Amino acid sequence: MDRRYSHDIEVQLMGRPGVLLFGEKVSFPYQKVEGLFYYLCVNSQISRSQAISVLWAESSESIARKNLRDAVYNIRKVLGQDILTVEGNTLIVLNRQRDIDIDIEHITRENLLESWKGEFLQFFFVKNCYEFEAWAEGERSERKRSYIKALQLKIMGQKIGHGLEFLEESGRILIQNEVLDEELYRIIMKKLAEAGRYLSAMEIFQSLKTFLEKEVEETPEEETQKLYEKISDMKNRLKRRPKERGEYFFGRTDILYDIYSRIGTRDGDMERRYRSFLITGEPGVGKSMLLEQIGRMVEDSDYLMFTWACCETEKDLYLMPWHGIMAKVDEYCKKNGLDVESPTDILLRQNASDVQFFMTRFEILTESVFRYLTKYFRDRKILLFIDDIQWMDSMSMRLMSNLLFRMGQGQMLVVAASREDDGDDIKSFKIPLIGRGILKEIELKPFTLEEARQVIEETDAGILDNPRLVEQIYKKTQGNPLFFMESLRLYERKENGAAFTDRMSNVIQSRLLSLSRRERVMLDIVSIFSLPVTKGEINQILGMEELQLLQILEPLLDKKILYEKLVSGEVHYGFRHQIIREYVYSCLPKEKKDIYHNYIARYYEQEYQRHRNLGTCSLVIHHYEQCGDRYKMYWYKVEYLEAFYRISYDFYPMLARKAVFSGNIDGFLAKEDELVELAEEIRLLQETDSRMTPIRMRVEYLLGRYEMFVRDCHRGKKYIEKSLELAKEISDRNYIFYNYLQLILYGDLTGQNAFMQNVIETCMAFMRDCTHHHLEEECMLIRYLGICMMKDGEYQQAEKLFMEAVKRLDHADDRTEHYRRELSACHHHMGICYIRQKKWDMASGCLKRAVEIGEKYMVSGEAGVFYSDMSLVLCRMGDLKGANAFAEKARSCFMQAGSLWGEAKTDLCCALIAEAEGRPEEGKRCRELADRTAKKLDSSFLWEELKMMEN
């Protein structure tokens, strides 16, 4: 049944009301009938007198009761007889046994805003029925109050920069609903201004102003008007400057608004608290540019503004920043004809050996100069912009602190910037001032990914159509504005992505200059690792006591160069900025890099031997490659790739799995054609390097397996023959046996029985001469011989060979996985032998036994073989449903294994099933698919399967 509705009856009371019956809109004969139904939907049950008093209060009792009966009759006529029940002579009840959905019943405090579709019974009126209108208006007002309250709570809870469209829409809704709470409008205006939406904030004020003037003949409150003027002024000051004025500046609108609104606050205003600011953040995050932007915004204000940028060389020169600032004050005084004794004169002629005494005198004179200036210029305040105060000497820091304590409540304001890796001097400066409400610290964060995308769009960097590159640059720079912008410039100039611009190098160097020699060595070592590392890994190079190690790490953590995180219960250390790690690593001499990488490679090698973890193996490869140990690098590359290409040494041709490679493993990164590329790379090496022979042997073997069962049988055979030659050269018993198996499988796949039998006999002779014997390998060769007999039609001889292998394995003491897999394979091939003889019941029994023994050891390709053969047997036995189920399971396994051979075999099974179900066209289509695959693989094995199924 095509049901396009959720409930039999759906009632909407919010917004324009209406009723749907089985998804179709219904109409009531007149408004009082509809009104009565809505009244019942809200109250569930009502008395007759209650209904009369609301809808027929103006009528006599007899007429009112008649009208009520008529209304109940019409509701039942429209929505069904059982929609209402009458209890006694008094109650009328809405029957909730019916499938009725009423919208207001789903509205909660949490979803009120999302559920709001308009006012209660909007645009629905019952003519000349004042009692009903009074009831509806009461419901309407109560629900509107709840809605406005929820709206207010959500407005006040909005974080800076979030829900901007909601805020704009809320302003319009509040005005439409005649809400007069101006504090709420001010909150919306501030939040929009903080996010840079100045026009939207100003539009809300204008709409409020128009509404107040029209409806109540009032103007907005003074505080609201001042806020509007402040936002308007800020918008005008932040108009885009010509490019020659400076660098591109993006965002920080919330901080700009906060600082500008407080700097511009009068002494009596509520926002007077926190009039001085300390902007902190990592190098390159944009502190200096933000100071410049704030300076431009207030450059034509009434403040007496002076600026100074501290530098590292001043750290040991006491009072140097104030010497510079007061020199600018001197210049200002002379320019304006003021005769004031300046503290700079004292600096030039001071000979006092008591620095503490000199300091006190300097403070007194500096304060007196500032007080004189503010008085002379009619209470104009002093505004200081001081950048990089982390380089300020302790005396200068103390002087700034004292001046702010004495004058910072209104006569002097400071906007300073400092790195986040602040020392004790900065902490001693800021903590008391913040506690007294004189100073506010603002932490500048790097760009978010969304902000980074906006920067690219605004600067026309032209890479938005390449989101992967955007994320790559963002990840490398971690949103640091300077690093991010410089990386964009490198991209625009098409320079190497690993290069560093002069500005990037200067910023990084400035962070590293103050480090001790031990700290620099620690950074060098951590840069060798591309992932966060433990103390144990670092100690593979340093070999220190844990306490000594922590003493070196702690300053690097405090200076925010390194970070620490807990992973699996162990602390790991890494660079906060990947770009700094790359810079530190690039500065290391090659010899030192090689030594470090070799130490680490040997450590990871030992870890890999213990745990056989592929992630660790990839790191072994990476570090051996970096230190130039070619042999070890290739050895572990093969080890790594075997996890993707190596297959069980069995008879199933489709066991070669299509590699699924992960890009998340750090170090060496495998990819789809890595094995082919590795083989070509190794072949180019000098043949005289005997150490490379085992590696060549393993690669040729893996490549032969991969080619034989996924791409080209004949090309795969050449690789196997080369691997066999190399295995014999170094007398590797296991790989000689493995390669013989592959040649046997080649004969099986290509239908070359004589070739196959010859290889089996050669392998048996080789095994007899071996010192070590393995029962499952001997039984495997017996089974292969049975397959040869079966292919030649000698079924009884084949059965005897299969039974011989089964008995030997059944009587063996060993019950390991290898034995059980081989035993399962013997039963399976016995089943194939019975299939060829059309002994379906016996075939089914053997296949079931094979699955019971070996199913838990199967990989996807092996399971696909079992399922496809079981599908064929069930189809022949007439169980088409079971056959279909096994065919689908087989197809899923073969697709997962990436085996064309297996998918073709499944197509043959599906063809047989379709024909048995009387669908010849589908059967023909499936056979054509299998035929195309057989031609593509040039596989006589598939042709034989096709022929067998046709019989």
Q: Over 50: is that where the pLDDT of 851 sits? A: yes
Domain boundary among 237, 270, 298: 237
Domain boundary among 175, 208, 237: 237
Kindly tell me the sign of the dihedral angle through the C-alpha atoms of 384, 389, 393, 394: positive
* Same domain assignment for residues 263 and 227: no
pLDDT of res. 704:
85
Highest mean pLDDT (candidates 62-76, 103-117, 139-153): 62-76
By the 8 A CB rule, do 51 and 153 touch? no
Pairing of strands 9-12, 18-21: antiparallel
Q: What angle do CA 512, 252, 247 make, to 5 degrees?
A: 65
Q: How far apart are CA 756 and CA 751, in angstroms?
A: 9
Exposure on the CB side of residue 329, measured as CA atoms within 13 A: 27
Among 768, 764, 792, which Cα is nearest to 780's?
764
* Same domain assignment for residues 276 and 381: yes
* Same domain assignment for residues 300 and 388: yes
* Same domain assignment for residues 382 and 256: yes
* Same domain assignment for residues 340 and 207: no
pLDDT band at 785 (very low <50, low <70, confident <90, very high): very high
Integer-rounded Cα radius of gyration of the chain: 42
Q: Over 80: is that where the pLDDT of 273 sits? A: no
Which is more confidently placed, 55 or 473?
A: 55
* Same domain assignment for residues 44 and 191: no
Which residues on adjacent β-strands are paired with residue 385? Answer: 307, 415
| Listed range (466-480, 576-590, 669-683) with the worst mean pLDDT | 669-683
Highest mean pLDDT (candidates 191-195, 475-479, 574-578, 761-765): 761-765
By the 8 A CB rule, do 901 and 939 touch? yes
Mean pLDDT of 751-768: 91
pLDDT of res. 714:
83
Domain total for the chain?
Answer: 4
Whether 436 is covered by a domain: the verdict is yes
pLDDT of res. 830:
92
pLDDT of res. 515:
86
pLDDT digits (tens, 9 = 90+) for 871-910: 888 888 889 998 999 888 888 887 776 667 777 788 888 8
pLDDT band at 386 (very low <50, low <70, confident <90, very high): very high
Whether 121 is covered by a domain: the verdict is yes
What percent of the chain stands above pLDDT 70?
81
Whether 580 is covered by a domain: the verdict is no
Q: Which residues contact 352 (CB under 8 A, 6 or more apart)?
A: 358
| Listed range (442-451, 681-690, 861-870) with the worst mean pLDDT | 681-690
Q: Over 90: is that where the pLDDT of 221 sits? A: no
Whether 164 is covered by a domain: the verdict is yes
* Same domain assignment for residues 282 and 198: no
Mean pLDDT of 809-831: 81
* Same domain assignment for residues 355 and 320: yes
Whether 575 is covered by a domain: the verdict is no
Mean pLDDT of 752-761: 92
Here the tokens at position 168 are: 């704009």
What's the CATH number where 45 sits?
A: 1.10.10.10
* Structural domain containing residue 128: 7-139
| Listed range (35-49, 314-328, 332-346, 467-481) with the worst mean pLDDT | 332-346
Q: Over 60: is that where the pLDDT of 2 sits? A: no
Whether 355 is covered by a domain: the verdict is yes
pLDDT of res. 824:
87
| Listed range (399-403, 432-436, 661-665, 893-897) with the worst mean pLDDT | 661-665
pLDDT of res. 800:
93
pLDDT band at 243 (very low <50, low <70, confident <90, very high): very low
| Angle between helix 31-43 and helix 61-79 axes, rounded to 10 deg | 80
* Same domain assignment for residues 180 and 289: no
Q: How far apart are CA 626 and CA 666, in angstroms?
A: 14
Domain boundary among 237, 271, 287: 237
Torsion on CA atoms 678, 683, 686, 689, rounded to nearest 10: 70
Whether 626 is covered by a domain: the verdict is no
pLDDT of res. 617:
85
Instruction: Enter the DSSP assignment of 533.
Output: B
Whether 718 is covered by a domain: the verdict is no
Q: How far apart are CA 823 and CA 827, in angstroms?
A: 6
Residue 242 backbone phi and psi in degrees, to 5: -60, 150
* Same domain assignment for residues 439 and 329: yes
Instruction: Enter the DSSP assignment of 243.
Output: G
Which is more confidently placed, 131 or 172?
A: 131
Q: Over 70: is that where the pLDDT of 396 sits? A: yes
What's the CATH number where 428 sits?
A: 3.40.50.300
Which is more confidently placed, 589 or 898?
A: 589
pLDDT band at 266 (very low <50, low <70, confident <90, very high): low
Q: What is the 3-state secondary structure (H, E, C) of 175-192?
A: HHCCCCCHHHHHHHHHHH
* Same domain assignment for residues 17 and 49: yes
Q: How far apart are CA 257 and CA 295, in angstroms?
A: 13
Q: Which helix (H) or strand (E) holds 281?
A: strand 276-281
* Amino acid residing at 922: E
pLDDT of res. 240:
45
pLDDT digits (tens, 9 = 90+) for 55-83: 888 888 889 889 988 999 899 988 888 88
pLDDT digits (tens, 9 = 90+) for 521-554: 999 999 998 788 898 888 888 888 888 889 999 9
Mean pLDDT of 427-451: 86
Q: Which residues contact 512 (CB under 8 A, 6 or more apart)?
A: 520, 523, 561, 584
* Same domain assignment for residues 41 and 190: no
pLDDT of res. 200:
81
Among 704, 741, 738, 707, which Cα is nearest to 722's?
704
Q: Over 80: is that where the pLDDT of 410 sits? A: no
The average confidence (pLDDT) of the chain is 79
